[in-house]
Chains A and B, each alone.
Chain A
């Protein structure tokens, strides 16, 4: 992938990465949206949706609580969606390799958010006197530069990830040794395991939630039998 080809994807990653924390937190950065949009960007929305759903199931495990460190799913969703949508249909290694690239991007991008927050804190320290004097200019400058840096951060993470992972995923797909059904099943089991454990982690303290879950499974079983 050339730099020129990666640039529009990086712009998308930048915008969706900005949504995670800075603006407007409308969750367009959730992988189920980000990867789908990226897939559509490449011209293959169903592929984007497929990896988006898998990533969303894994993302259920992470809750973006304020100061905690968590993976950044906006740029990761764009990278995963773009990579998977770019592979020829039916290649057995495409989904696992693209998913691995997306998870690595989410991890690195989460770390880049920590670095950004430290940078903003350092800038705040330098302008503390002006802020304590109630300077409107100092406050607006700090705030708007924080947002601009976040946009830049997400864009850089996306473009670097695309430049590294696009050829890597292509190479992995070409030498892939496992059969198609097994490759797909491993990814689905991983996603289902993380999603199920995440549901338990998030909701186990809610009274009677297990019975509600079982009622839902029963409805699914009825649908399975009757369809």
Chain B
């Protein structure tokens, strides 16, 4: 991911670092009223102190109030908004334009991030870790692989978002057309399919222990279950069905 040439807008490094770390806590006050709006205000606050009259001056207070209102974005991509809005506030862009920009950016940042991270990157990394387990990996190898792989993407994405937001300001919308954001879920999906095909049977083998007949029986039973569950689609959540079936089995095993 490369940022275009900046146009002379810079922030002191300590402010950028403070904003980055605050972004890790962006959802600390997530609620059903403002969603992560107050988190955006919290992350921007160190930069807003650079406004004329400084901390608690009238421009600072007006900007902080504006930026703490309703906002919705995927937390990892919120940096794009945080960076762009920070630049707009510090460059004195008209507040009504900032409001319109916030409204326009919120939806795409949520849906693009959900698709890329929650519905692609996270399950992919889980499958890789499950595969490491299936291949005989130790506890440290499995947990370590998952955390290193997942967070390489996580922390880079947050840093890229903040950088691109600060460098492009209100012209940041085009960044959402970035190939990784647009095509990434498709490629990650294919890779996850392939890894899943290896990882799940390998993990089942290790969980079950030796015996090809047993693993064959488990895979057959699971395939039937998968077809039944897939037919239910959105009408039933798999984990709830797992909870129900398990509860019945435990009850049966205790009573017999």
Cβ of A133 < 8 Å from any Cβ of B?
yes
- Interface core residue of B55, B56, B237 (most chain A CB under 10 Å): B237
> Which of B7-15, B90-98, B194-202 touches A?
B194-202
| B31 with A124: CB separation less than 8 A | yes
Cβ of A66 < 8 Å from any Cβ of B?
yes
User: A184 — nearest CB in chain B belongs to which residue?
Assistant: B208
| A177 with B123: CB separation less than 8 A | no
| B242 with A66: CB separation less than 8 A | no
Q: How far is the CA of A107 from the CA of B256 in the complex (A)?
A: 27
Cβ of B173 < 8 Å from any Cβ of A?
no
Given A134-B65, A139-B42, A26–B189 Cβ distance below 8 Å? Answer: no
- Chain A residue contacts of B243, Cβ below 8 A: 100, 103-104, 107
- Chain B residue contacts of A103, Cβ below 8 A: 239, 242-243, 246
Cβ of B151 < 8 Å from any Cβ of A?
yes
- Chain B residue contacts of A99, Cβ below 8 A: 246
Cβ of B52 < 8 Å from any Cβ of A?
no
Cβ of A37 < 8 Å from any Cβ of B?
yes
Report the minimal beta-carbon distance from B115 to chain A, rounded to whole angstroms. Answer: 10
> Which of B79-87, B138-146, B160-168, B174-182 touches A?
B138-146
Q: How far is the CA of A208 from the CA of B197 in the complex (A)?
A: 13
Cβ of A142 < 8 Å from any Cβ of B?
yes
| A177 with B256: CB separation less than 8 A | yes
Majority DSSP secondary structure for residues of A touching B: helix
| B218 with A192: CB separation less than 8 A | yes
| A194 with B241: CB separation less than 8 A | yes
Q: How far is the CA of A146 from the CA of B255 in the complex (A)?
A: 44
| A56 with B130: CB separation less than 8 A | yes
| A33 with B146: CB separation less than 8 A | yes
Given A67-B35, A206-B190, A117–B30 Cβ distance below 8 Å? Answer: yes
Q: How far is the CA of A185 from the CA of B222 in the complex (A)?
A: 10
User: B207 — nearest CB in chain A belongs to which residue?
Assistant: A188
28 contacts between A and B (CB under 8 A): A27-B147, A28-B147, A32-B129, A32-B142, A60-B126, A107-B243, A120-B31, A134-B62, A134-B63, A135-B64, A136-B56, A139-B38, A139-B42, A146-B29, A176-B254, A185-B214, A186-B246, A188-B208, A192-B218, A196-B200, A196-B222, A198-B123, A200-B230, A202-B192, A206-B186, A207-B186, A218-B197, A224-B205
| A147 with B28: CB separation less than 8 A | yes
User: B199 — nearest CB in chain A belongs to which residue?
Assistant: A216
| A206 with B185: CB separation less than 8 A | yes
- Chain B residue contacts of A187, Cβ below 8 A: 246
Given A177-B256, A193-B226, A206-B186, A146–B28 Cβ distance below 8 Å? Answer: yes
| B189 with A209: CB separation less than 8 A | yes
Report the minimal beta-carbon distance from A24 to chain B, rounded to whole angstroms. Answer: 4
Given A45-B139, A124-B38, A194-B238, A185–B64 Cβ distance below 8 Å? Answer: no
Mark interface residues in A117-142 (1 if CB within 8 Å of B CB, else 0). Answer: 11011001100000111111001101
Report the minimal beta-carbon distance from A172 to chain B, rounded to whole angstroms. Answer: 6
Report the minimal beta-carbon distance from B185 to chain A, rounded to whole angstroms. Answer: 7
Q: How far is the CA of A27 from the CA of B233 in the complex (A)?
A: 26
| B193 with A199: CB separation less than 8 A | yes
List residues 54-103 of chain A with CB under 8 A from any CB of chain B: 54, 56-67, 71, 93, 96-97, 99-100, 103
| B28 with A150: CB separation less than 8 A | yes
Mark interface residues in A169-209 (1 if CB within 8 Å of B CB, else 0). Answer: 00010011110010111111111111111111111001111
Report the minimal beta-carbon distance from B144 to chain A, rounded to whole angstroms. Answer: 9
Mark interface residues in B89-126 (1 if CB within 8 Å of A CB, else 0). Answer: 00000000000000000000010001000110011011
- Chain B residue contacts of A184, Cβ below 8 A: 207-209
Cβ of A4 < 8 Å from any Cβ of B?
no
Report the minimal beta-carbon distance from A71 to chain B, rounded to whole angstroms. Answer: 6
| B253 with A183: CB separation less than 8 A | yes
Report the minimal beta-carbon distance from B125 to chain A, rounded to whole angstroms. Answer: 8
Q: How far is the CA of A104 from the CA of B240 in the complex (A)?
A: 10
Cβ of A111 < 8 Å from any Cβ of B?
no
| A133 with B193: CB separation less than 8 A | no
- Chain A residue contacts of B56, Cβ below 8 A: 136
| B25 with A139: CB separation less than 8 A | no
Cβ of A214 < 8 Å from any Cβ of B?
yes
Cβ of A39 < 8 Å from any Cβ of B?
yes
- Chain B residue contacts of A134, Cβ below 8 A: 60-65
List residues 215-251 of chain B with CB under 8 A from any CB of chain A: 217-219, 221-223, 225-226, 229-230, 233, 237-243, 245-247, 249-250
